Structure 1
Amino acid sequence: MIEQVDVDRAVKARHRQMWALGSYAAVAAEVIPELGTTLVRAAGVGPGDRVLDVAAGTGNAAIPAALAGARVVASDLTPELLEIGRALAAERGAELEWQEADAEALPYADGEFDRVLSCVGVMFAPRHRAAADELVRVCRPGGTIALASWTPEGFIGQMFAAMKPYAPPPPPGAQPPPLWGDEEHVRALLGDRVADLVLRRAVVTVDRFATAEEFRDYFKAHYGPTIAVYRAVAEDPERVAALDGDLADLARRHLDAGVMRWEYLLVTARRGG
């Protein structure tokens, strides 16, 4: 019998490999560069705050938080992303810590941070309850939890729905990432452990792609989850062509004069005492 710990280890290894594919740094910098700064502002990050960015990737939120004067730890499961983040932080003159860590089992003390952030990151941890428990645990009483997550109804949520028929089945117990963009799901995850919970839908304007095909080809080359799905059907040219068509059709419906608007849920909450 396969032990659950071995299954979990294999799932995490696949997640690391997926996010190391392509160039998430390019997506963060070229497609959604302002999203991290928006989250930092919503969280009220300021000088001297002890901040943890969970599933930080290459630092889309962590670097602006450090530049705002906070003492920041950027944690992520994928070491390749952390290495890129270190280089980007050095270029921008930001000083912060970079640590490999699992969002479902963070290696930090209870209440260690004043503000706990995640910018379209923690939503990809497969077990949402475990990840939410960790976000709450490491935030001090009275501290702030702030999250930005793609909504199920928004463009990225619809993209994941379009890719699902082509993707391998998810591991047992894994939940769809865009559920973190559903208000009721987030309320259930955080529960009465937080106060002053504010959930607001917003959009990030994307003007990087002139055509639907340009979007598709960019994500096909740069975005780890999309690359992984294409690899899963690579030996079947008909399914590759069908996926090509589905992603281009989706982008075409959302593209208006070279502009797309991607919806996300912005969450802020204060940890209860």
Structure 2
Amino acid sequence: MIDEMEQDRAVKAGHRRMWALGSYATVAAEVIPELGTALVQAAGVGPGDRVLDVAAGTGNAAVPAALAGAEVVASDLTPELLEIGRALAAERGVELDWQEADAEALPYADGEFDRVLSCVGVMFAPRHRAAADELVRVCRPGGTIGLVNWTPEGFIGQLFATMRPYAPPPPPGAQPPPLWGDEEHVRALLGDRVTDLVLRREVVTVDRFAAPEDFRDYFKAHYGPTIAVYRANAEDPERVAALDGDLADLARRHTEAGVMRWEYLLVTARRRG
């Protein structure tokens, strides 16, 4: 048991370091800014709601929820992201409660929140069942759970598939993040604890990259998981060159007339009363 606890602490410490690399705030603001607002609208967030954003990052969903009049707690494992989010919220003129928390062991009471959200966040918790259990637990009966998750078949799912051969092996028991974008996987995770489950595939349009190499270089500079994979191969120039080529090829296959369409699964459900 002690070994398992130590392993879990090491895994979480690794996640903190990875997401602190680069500038996830830049990616959220420049590439996918509309995702959080889409989630807030789909979940029906409004004035007076008590909202928890799980794995909130820099507040891509939490800030729009606060702007909609909700009382928001933005939780994340990585304190560096919370600090950036706090500053961004201040710029927008809203106040949120920013708290460091593990999505697999949330420090909140059962049924504490009216709406529990996560925008391409909780999907990166390594133990999907534990994270799903926590989402349901902290949502009040009749409350709403709302998620945006990258699909396995979509661009970001394929990005992780492309990086996988270059990455260190995952820790025991860890599941691939894009599984959260598979409808059957989500149904199995939430089970009969929810009603009114809606699973809808949507796309976010990305048109900021003039060439496939521009996407690759942008993610090499800003996106923590991509930076971590490059660092893992830094001593092997041939593997770095191969990864460079594979990421550019991936972006090329997913670009048409200068536009990329990144697929995600929009999930809404009500906790059974």
Q: How does the TM-score come out when normalised to structure 1?
A: 0.99
Match of 1:153 in 2: 153
Q: Within 2, Cα distance between the matches of 1:94 and 1:206?
A: 27
Q: Within 1, Cα distance between the matches of 2:254 and 2:125?
A: 27
Deviations 1:150-202 (A, max 9, x none): 00000000000000000000000000000000000000000000000000000
* Distance apart, 1:72 and its partner CA: 0.1
Match of 2:204 in 1: 204
Match of 1:96 in 2: 96
Match of 1:259 in 2: 259
1:244-255 map, 5 Å: 244-255=244-255
* Distance apart, 1:93 and its partner CA: 0.4
SS state of the match for residue 4, structure 1?
A: helix
Q: Within 2, Cα distance between the matches of 1:209 and 1:259?
A: 8
Deviations 1:25-65 (A, max 9, x none): 00000000000000000000000000000000000000000
SS state of the match for residue 226, structure 1?
A: helix
SS state of the match for residue 225, structure 1?
A: helix
Between the aligned residues of both structures, percent identity stands at 89
Q: Where do 5+ consecutive residues of structure 2 fail to align?
A: none
Tell me the amino acid that sits aligned with residue 269 of structure 2.
Answer: A
Match of 2:168 in 1: 168
Match of 1:17 in 2: 17
Q: Within 1, Cα distance between the matches of 2:88 and 2:96?
A: 11
1:18-57 map, 5 Å: 18-57=18-57
Match of 1:191 in 2: 191
* Distance apart, 1:2 and its partner CA: 6.4
Tell me the amino acid that sits aligned with residue 146 of structure 1.
Answer: G
Deviations 1:195-219 (A, max 9, x none): 0000000000011111000000000
Q: Within 1, Cα distance between the matches of 2:47 and 2:208?
A: 33
Tell me the amino acid that sits aligned with residue 105 of structure 1.
Answer: A
**Which 10-residue stretch deviates more, 255-264 or 127-136?**
255-264
Deviations 1:70-101 (A, max 9, x none): 00000000000000000000000011100000
The CA RMSD over aligned residues, in Å, is 0.8
Deviations 1:92-127 (A, max 9, x none): 001110000000000000000000000000000000
User: How many residue pairs were aligned?
Assistant: 273
